[in-house]
Amino acid sequence: MRRSFSTFLLILAVVFMFFNQNRAEEGMFPVTEISKLPLQQWGFQISADQIFSENHVSLSNAIVKLGGCTGSFISADGLILTNHHCAYRAIQDASTTAHDYLADGFVAQSREQEFPAKGYTVRITQSSQDISDRVLQAVRGVTDPLQMEKAIEKQIKKIEKQEEAKHPGLRAEVAEMFPGKTYYLFLYVYLKDVRLVYAPPSSVGNFGGDVDNWEWPRHTGDFSLMRAYVAPDGSPAEYSKDNVPFHPKTFLKVAAHGVEKGDRVFILGYPGRTYRHRTSYFLSFENDLRMPFVVQWYNYQIDLLKKLGKDDPAKTLKFSSRIKGLANVEKNYRGKLQGIKRLHLIEQKRKQEEKISDFIRRDAKRQQKYGRVLAGIDSVYQTYRQSALREWILRYFAGSVELPAIARTILKAAEERQKPDLERESAFMDRNFARTKMYLLMRLKNFDAQADRLILKALLTKAGQLPAEQQIKPLNRIFRLDGKRSETESIIQQAYAKTRLRQAAFVEKLLNMTPQALNKVKDPILQWMRDLQPAYTALKETQQRRSGQLRRLRALWLDVKKQYLKTDFIPDANGTFRFTTGLIEGYSPADAIYKTPVTSVRGIFEKTTGQPPFNTPDALMTLLRKNQFGAFISKTVGTLPIDILYSTDTTGGNSGSPVMNVKGELVGLNFDRSFEATINDFAWNHAYSRSIGVDVRYLLFLLKNYAHTDQLLGEMGLK
């Protein structure tokens, strides 16, 4: 990464010297590269080494990857600040109909009351290293795309296993920074005992619900507190009552005075994936097919689950986390679809591709090397378009439908666990299998047979409508899709009545069986997935071959694009540690409309209706009406601030990232983007890319005056 970016960032630093510091720039920069950024020109009062260093303690030691989100240590005893929606599943797991902590909030009055957040892990980046040569030596002389893909996968697993053996207690992960070109090894402290400490009620932590999700202005207190634990000797360990709080190397200082309009802020975190270096062919595939399919399919599930839980509190609680996850993706994709159209993004990419193609044609050597690259990418996506719906139905049959998904994992476990460790799929390697089993068993906790059957039938309807050449023949045979609907219904009803896959003890037993022993188990849903096994094997090979083809072609395209633009690129986000900076500033989403960057308590009064999702707790409303906000008043709005808007470059995975001022102090908590900024995954622009966070003053006001958690404020170094 240092080799790849050095030229680009040197140019970048010189250019930025002429820019006013009050400016936001595109960039989810790998943290190893921030020493080359003009931080002082941007007004930073701390050095790059104070933000990230592999040689001494820095702010980065306080930042964690928490499941699919980010979090930060805010005390010496492992207290972690993250989003309410990131802790949502833990809050749901702690809840019952008698004690609904989603509705009422949760607070542990002592360490003993902190609730185990099963399935959550904490990762802290220890080091990173360019290992491109180690990875790519496995494919020297290999030309077949499928064999290249398999070789790279195996080599990455080998390296990760070797590094974990060399560094006991650490987790190793290899990340592809540029396709087929650059690979980095990351070593993480890996903590497996995480507990829920505090969560506001959903009427605060999820105020506005799906209505306000991905929107501005916001008035949401989207935060929760968790804690990381280790064994008494300080080593990472699974949950045990004997474990003790983890002591991080450092933790963030909370700036209770907050931040104001125009101030510079920055974010450290673990953004998920962006696709800014992809071609117009990828983007048009997403726009025409994949995202519209997902929006429709997720909407169906959301509507179904809401209907089933309407008059049943137990089901409402059971479905809550699933609905929230589906709704988040569904609205995000609608925003992306709107953004692609509004920005004419496909047309923009095609125009650039035409210019680069002309650049290629002007040189015989370039033409020979790169002349067929775009046509090759186009060909891959044209082929994918023909089989996409069939592939997605197979995927969601073993994804959206719970019992077939469980059966599929059981069969794969039996098959994969017989192979040498490095030849297994990642989930079934020794280093991962315990957690794979745990996650599978967790799916059963919220299983609902009625919902599962209805989702299955909806998917089978889609399967029956496939063109003749795309029909999934095993599905047709199993469910008699060519026969009467009543026959299909009867097959499903009987299978769900007879299966034992909803029993956790039975599933756990099957997960440890050999293929020979498993073949003797008679279970109707297990048999469905046995019959479908050849289809899944063929699908996996198709996907691997396609991935291998695209990796080679994308690498060539990036090469020639760099030659044309005479510059280098920041790699797309890929779940690794990144830095981004911007300003507290509003934006204009449409003509004659300007949205200011700080919301206030006034908005809570204006929005509150007493009905979900705008049902602020009565006790909080009474407290807010007193208008006694003291030191928590913002100069920008003249009263208690609620949420803040800023021009950093973020995406999914940045949820829970700390928003920090130029001194490196915590002033907010990132939790969302504006609707226009959902397009960030494909393109960033200062005019519309805005991120949203909870103002630290609202967070502290709630902890102090509403939740009365003086012990937690004291732990954070605040009164």
- Under the banding of pLDDT at 50, 70 and 90, the label for residue 5 is very low
Tell me the C-alpha distance between 702 and 692, whole Å: 18
Residue 402's pLDDT band (boundaries 50, 70, 90)?
very high
Check residue 22 and give its pLDDT.
62
Mean pLDDT of 572-577: 96
Structure token digits, residue 150: 């398999």
696-718 burial, b at 16+ Cβ within 10 Å, e below that, comes to: bbbbbbbbbbbbebeebbebbee
- 607: which residues sit within 8 A by CB, 6+ positions away? 207, 208, 219, 614
CA 446 – CA 438 distance, rounded (Å): 14
The predicted pLDDT at position 239 comes to 97
CA separation for the pair 45, 264 (Å, rounded): 11
Lowest mean per-residue pLDDT among 7-21, 169-183, 407-421, 627-641? 7-21
Please write the tens of the pLDDT for every residue from 129-145.
999 999 999 999 999 99
Q: Are 268 and 658 in contact (CB under 8 A)?
A: yes
225-252: average pLDDT = 97
How far is it, in rounded angstroms, from Cα 460 to Cα 470?
14
* pLDDT for residue 365: 97
* Cβ neighbours around 649 below 10 Å, total: 27
* pLDDT score, position 485: 84
Q: Contact, 637 vs 655, CB < 8 A?
A: no
Mean pLDDT of 19-33: 76
- Distance of alpha carbon 403 from alpha carbon 408, whole angstroms: 9
| Average pLDDT score over residue span 670-686 | 95
113/102 Cα distance (integer angstroms) = 17
- Predicted confidence (pLDDT) at residue 2 exceeds the cutoff of 60: no
- Signed CA dihedral, 344, 347, 349, 352: sign only: negative
How does pLDDT run across 335-364, given as a tens digit for each residue?
999 999 999 999 999 999 999 999 999 999
Residue 484 confidence class, pLDDT cut points 50, 70, 90: confident
Looking from the CA of 94 toward its CB, the CA atoms found within 13 Å total 23
Q: Quick check: 121 pLDDT over 50?
A: yes
Question: Could you give the angle at the alpha carbon of 145 between the alpha carbons of 140 and 146, nearest 5°?
Answer: 110
Q: Is the peptide bond before 613 cis (omega within 30 degrees of 0)?
A: yes
pLDDT greater than 80 at residue 719: no
User: What's the confidence (pLDDT) of residue 15?
Assistant: 37
| pLDDT for the residue numbered 23 | 63
Residue 21 scores a pLDDT above 70: no
> Please, what sign has the CA dihedral across residues 603, 608, 614, 620?
positive
Predicted local confidence at residue 567, as pLDDT:
87
Q: What is the pLDDT of residue 506?
A: 97
Q: What angle do CA 272, 276, 278 make, to 5 degrees?
A: 110
The band of 483, judged by pLDDT with boundaries at 50, 70 and 90, is confident
Tell me if residue 107 falls in helix, strand or coil: strand
Q: What is the pLDDT of residues 148-190, one digit of tens each?
A: 999 999 999 999 999 999 999 899 999 999 999 999 999 999 9
pLDDT in tens, 241-267: 999 999 999 999 999 999 999 999 999
pLDDT tens for each residue of 71-107: 999 999 999 999 999 999 999 999 999 999 999 999 9
When pLDDT is averaged across residues 629-641 and rounded to a whole number, the result is 97
**Average per-residue pLDDT for the chain:** 95
Three-state SS for 420-484 is: CHHHCCHHHCHHHHHHHHHHHHHHHHCCCHHHHHHHHHHHHHHHHCCCHHHCCHHHHHHHCCCCC
pLDDT score at 452: 98
- Phi (first) and psi of residue 525, to 5 degrees: -75, -35
Percent of the chain with pLDDT over 90: 94
Mean pLDDT, range 223-227, rounded to an integer: 98
| Token representation of residue 370 | 């790169």
Assess contact for 87 and 195: CB atoms under 8 A.
no
